[in-house]
Structure 1
Amino acid sequence: IRVSHHVLALRCGYIVMADSNNKLVLHDCDPECDSQGCYGRGPTQCVACKHYRLDNTCVSRCPPRSFPNQGGVCWPCHESCETCAGAGQDSCLTCAPAHLHVVDLAVCLQVCPDGYYENYDNKTCVPCEANCASCQDRPDYCTSCEHHLVMHEHKCYSACPLHTYETEDYNCASCHSSCATCNGSAESQCITCRSGRFAYDGKCLNNCPDGYYADKKRQECVACPIGCATCSSNGFCLTCRENWTRNKKGKCIITGSENCDESEYYDNNHCHPCHSTCETCDGPTETNCLSCPQSLLLQSSRCVSSCDDGFYMEAGVCAKCLHTCTQCVSRMNCTACAKGLQLQSGECRTTCADGYYSDRGTCAKCYLSCHTCSGPRRDQCVQCPLGWQLAGGECHPECPEGFYKSEFGCQKCHHYCKTCNGAGPLACTSCPLHFMLDGGLCMECLGSQYYDSPTQTCKTCHDSCRSCSGPGQYSCKTCAFPLHLDRLNNQCVPCCPTDAAPEDQSCCHCDKDTGGCINASPAGKRRIAAAAEQQQFGSAYSGGLYGGFLDEDASGNGGSFFSRMSSPLTAITAVAVAVCLAIVTIVVVVFAVLQRSSNARDAIRYNKIPNKSEKKRGGGGGPRNAAAAKLLKADAESNLHEGAANDDYDEDEEEEDDDGYGYRDECEEVNERSAMDTEEVYVNELNMPTVDYRGKVVATATKTTPKSATASAKSVANNNSTMLGDIDDIEYYCRGTKAIL
């Protein structure tokens, strides 16, 4: 068929068209068309593109601010990107004007974030060295440090190094030149001294003053014994103070006291007794002791039972702890430190040694791979041993997965990558699960592809699937038009025609409204498995008691017993029916119990009505009054039946009461007859006042009982009772009759 100016034939790389003279002309396809050919001339008529597609036009490369996806279609970059590897904000390769490129994050920002410094030459944000919160000009030139770290000479440490102290703004400042450690910059703020100097009153001296000797081990000046002007390093007096003399034991005593007893002291040419707590003394008070009895200890010229804090017991004397300790158990073994110092192995230090961190005044050991640290966890390393690499707070022999080695240590890969050899999204060497590596870029599979784990590549779904989870026709998740998803088999099949057999596996029965598959019978491989199961169990039971049931004709009952039981819908239906039956049974039982309870309450309400006359009499004469009431009720029933038999009123015109029952007139008639029978008053043997049927006093005169009076009424009169209670019994009876009827 020839159509003017339209395609008549299509060949690979060529197109046959009719010109204005209806002559067939062979044209070359556009160079951007691939080998499948074209529908016409130009890049918009290609069957498929050789390179990329942009708005239905085949192009050799995507324009700026766009990128080719895995399907070869040009998609726009994020507005902050000039070029990109993906559509997200974190896929920028270069940045739009007035933006800075954060290389390791692949984002473009107008200001560098915390932990980065701006490289003005190439307009990038470079990450600072590990432990730096901010830096300037170089990654290792810190201007602030991470939490719990201190800065010294623009480096971040877990503690200030020797000869420095920590300031309030977490920087390390230098101590005085005489100090090894200090808590300030002044000469009098030394804590420990440099070699060759001795601590005395916060200072570090070359020589100790008179009355002190230099303890080279503790590097401090220690006071000589009392009375000594100078002494040796072991505390032996060399010279004595004025008016003191040295005795035979080498101790300094007051001149003249050698003639006194040991428990006396010499003063004004006389010997005086010491205080009762002192063994020897140089004065009268308890603070003048020179030695103590065996049960006491000498501490600062006093005899005490135990040493105070800051002292330790040695040879019957409380010796002073090292000036850095607040408590100690020996000369060099501290158990508590002065404020601002850390206790480590019995020593009070300004900072913990390498491999330790400060934990509330005590030095605790770091994780074994850390050289220095800020806490006990493995990810709290601050510095690593020589040759190890710091990555994410951890120390490793080599940069771990997700990091690459740079000039300034291990740097984190772009989050697209599993491993990488540089910064940015194009430096990936391997990808996370379900991503494919393509030219250094980790790409997610397209909607019509699935991830193949063994090859770590994206592969195309089966032709019938629009999206899938694996290869083949039984892994479909959505279907290509006009197929529909059979969810039992994850298979895309067409809708069955109306005359299709129910067991047809090549199609599914579709809903008339939605068009979706509604067939619930297994198909394909599942049908084969069910058939094998049926054959296995059916052969075992065939011919037996259940043979006919198990081998029931599929055409008449939708398959055999095992086929039906293998269906999930059958099990769900059975559970639903069982639940419904249980609910119905519970409702019936509850209704029966409530009905029975209601009937029992009605019987109690109307059959056990209290007698008013009995209430008034307090229960006296109960049996006789009850018998009289029964007689009156029987007489009322007799009159009720007689009135009903003689009355010809029309039932259709009968007036109903409030409850819809037609017995109000009958009860009123009974009451009226009772009133007529009692118009002739009854008089008891004691001439009590006579009353009518409502209890109203009518007369007090005695009359003879009329013939129409009932036997029950006479019985009541003879039993010394008024008619009030008995007539009320009739009223109650009528009300009860009305209510019951």
Structure 2
Amino acid sequence: MICQIGFVLMFVQAMHTLHLAINLLIQIIYQQHLVPLHAYIVNTNIRTNYGTYCKQKTNYNLCDKCTAVYKTCFDSYSTTCYECNPGSYLYNTTCSTECPVDIPYKDTINNMCVVTCTSYQQDGYCVESCSDNYYIYDADKQCYQFGCPEGTYNQVTTFYCYGCSLGCATCTDGIINSCITCIQGYFLQGVSTCTDVCNVNPDIVQDWTNGRCAKSCPTGTYMQTLPSGNLACRNTCPGYYYSNICVPACPAQTFPDGIVCTSYAGPCSVCYGEQVNQCTQCDSGYYLADTTFVEVCPDTKPYANLANQTCVSTCPDYLYLAKKICFSPCPTFLSIYKLNGKKECVDSCYSKSYISSGICYSCDSNCKECYGPINGNCLQCESPNYLYQQKCSPTCPSQLYTDLTDRTCKQSCPSITVIQGQYCKSNCDVNNFLYGQLCVATCPTYTYKSTSEKKCLLCNSLCRSCNGPLVSQCYSCIENYLLNGNTCTKTCPDLYDYEAQKCVSNCGTKYELTDFKSCVKTCPTGYLKCIKKCLITPPDGYYSNGDSCIQCTSKCSKCTSQNVCQACIKNYYLTLQTCSNTCINKYLYMDSTTQTCVTKCPPQLYHQESYDKRSCVEDCVIGYKFNDQCVSSCPKGMYIKNKFCTNCPQACEECTSATNCTACVQDYFLENGLCQLSCLIGKTDYKNHACVSQCDPPLFEYQNQCLENCPTNPVFYYHSNICMDTCPNNTFQNNQECLDCDVSCSSCIGPSNNDCLVCEETYYLHDQQCTLTCPYLYNDVDRSCVISCPRNLLLDGNKCVLICSLYMYSNTCLSSCPLGTYDSNFICYDCSQNCLECDSFGCNKCANGSFLNDGSCSNYCPYYYNVVLNKCEQLCPEGTFLHIDQCSASCPANTYIYLQTCIADCPFKTILIDSICYQCPERCLVCKNQYECLNCEEPYYQYKGECVVACPTALPYQNKIYYACQSECSPNTYERGYDCVKECDLIIYQNKCLKQCPYGYYGSIICKPCKLECKACNDFNICTECSENFYLERNQCDTQCTRIKDLKQKNAL
């Protein structure tokens, strides 16, 4: 029995199972590419391929339909197939549209899932060859659509991928030092080498975050030692981390706070937690403020109780307070003060008390300070009393000064006080000024009141009285100096008023004594009172009359009386001792220089007559100067020069200037304004006695002369008023006359004027006629009509030209060079092979399949391929970025821009901002941006985002751990000079690292305070120097002293 395609023969279960096992074995062998499928055709009684038949008994010969995806199957279930329809693929005995992960590739020829392809794998399918624009990597038989895979690089101008050197994720070549990034487990050493062991100093640490060898870990990572022994920077620690280093357990003096190791809380000897405020007992030299250790008690609890090393707000009743410390009893070197509700141990007794046998007692009520109990033992008085002979009294004796500053009676006031009557004071009263040491209400001569300083200050040395220190602030002057305004000067600039004793600009109602530049009430004897002045003689316009002056009449400038003039004012003239504006005699001339009437003007003046008036003038107002007269016009043979009548040059009959004659005398010819015996430049016109540039009709030009007729022997021809021996161009001979050619001809032969030889511009010669249009082409060189251009000429439209106006290509003129050519000096040349656009320097654009390289088109690029401009580049130009071997307008996804290159990760000492790796500032290891540093190289320190050699005074401390500038050393560090260090190898004092303890402290590891009576010590019980009032004996300080003592302070002297 034979089943139709898509149906299966139903058979006994035993044969089904056997056949299934056999075919399963066949599929496995094929999928592993061991033997071709056709080698395994099983010859059983039951066949389920196309055209098979069945020999079972009738009851078993039934055909059933396969599932849709099966082409041939054992039954209708999805697990009994051995051949699939197109679009579905067989794995084991199942057909599916997708292949499983362990058998991933689709064989489209046999419709099966396979582990590996025999040729190439592309997008999950087995193919004979990769599609166009796919990248081929022969090593794994893969086709890649978007570039070569990790660990390979692309050969320029091809789609083939080649393996990088060991450890490279991306590279530029297959050699060992051409890596760009590294695969996991390898690190970039230097610029382009990947290694699995970082061993080149100083970059010996494996930076797993950035895939580089580094000398220190970047921010956010922790250094740890790997099982291999290599140092590595990772984001997490397997145990704990302490100071950015991974440790298996927290070190001594630290405790685990989560996974962080934190230092214990300072000098706590007993605590109930790890914090600084969880202390219950302190080391020696420290005190407990609530639950926090301190060296000096805070203001809220300022007193240190030595009994239990705690800070308290007040000492207990059974203890004494001394220097903010609670004692019981008081030390022998201090005194007991139990007055006014206080109970203290003091160095010296408070005010209004005195010491006796180590105890403070009250002074007399009148005393402020004393050394005994009565008013006679006073050292200082309370107000309102004053101290005199150790007693306090309300007033001082009359012969003494009362010093209000210290409330004492004195013989004289101290120099630091001022004297106000009988009192010594700190300052003068409000309305008084300090003069020397005295307080005065009015400042003396030569001084002035300074309201700002409340003092009498010296005037300027020239001032007798003043209101300030300047020479311009005077009220009066010293002897031999005059007051001008507020300034004292030797002389006055204008006048001096003796009565007012100051300089003035005018005398006002007084008389000006001009000879002495002063002002007086009356003129001295021998002086005339004249116009508010004292004068010896009357001025012009006045005459004397006793001791005063009288003004002349208005027209007289000098006179001897009201009726006798001696001289006249301007514009008036003296005649018969009288001044008039005109001369009485009209034949006399008015002389303005002497203002008199004269018969003849004096030398240097001209006689001017106008409107029946005669005048002597320096310059002619009307007319011109001729001899000593003013004339309306100059005589013939003269010309006007600067209003003077001046003689014309010799041979000039008339002229307008010394260089321009207008008419000549007999036998001279006028040429260019000069009169000459013969013409030098122009033509000689005998008829008009002139030199001319051309002969005017009816004269004819001949040999530079103007003639009335041309010569006849030899014959000369008439043409345009010129005598010629031959006819000129554009004419032809007709008898003794030259006739003009037609306007279209530049040369003709006659007898007609249009029998042309050469044509004028814009005309072309055609059959001895000059025409504006040609039937074929125009020859612009010889102005003729032609059928084709001669070999030496170029075709420009319908013209033959010698040179093209724009561009020339193949002996033809064009407006622009055609495609595939370039212009060089307005000549179009063909581009090179495969070049679409070019210029004189080479090709600019190549045809598809060619690459622009150094001005020519090549089949491959030796350097980098610019995908933007479709050309080869030695270096990627600005605006493009190098990715593998191509210059692109942008970097692909998951890459970053660094120095115009696309890279997978930013290198060390750079910062990623907006997909760009910016170089950190100089000397910077880790930065916030390209301008601001976070962590500096050794030995530089971070200050305001910059790396500096030394920290500035604003942040003087240099953190040697993080290399940063700080205002003070941070907790858990020690101050060593201006360095903040993690460990102190010297002696510790208040978080400072010192070579030796300061004065008053001792110790070899930590500085502790000496005893109170010790000023310096080597140990707590070994004093080397004592405090005040103590004496050193056998390394101890004691108050015992056999010498005399001070009664007030009880100190040994």
TM-score (norm 2): 0.22
Q: Which has the larger radius of gyration?
A: 2
Structure that is richer in helix per residue: 1
Structure that is richer in strand per residue: 2
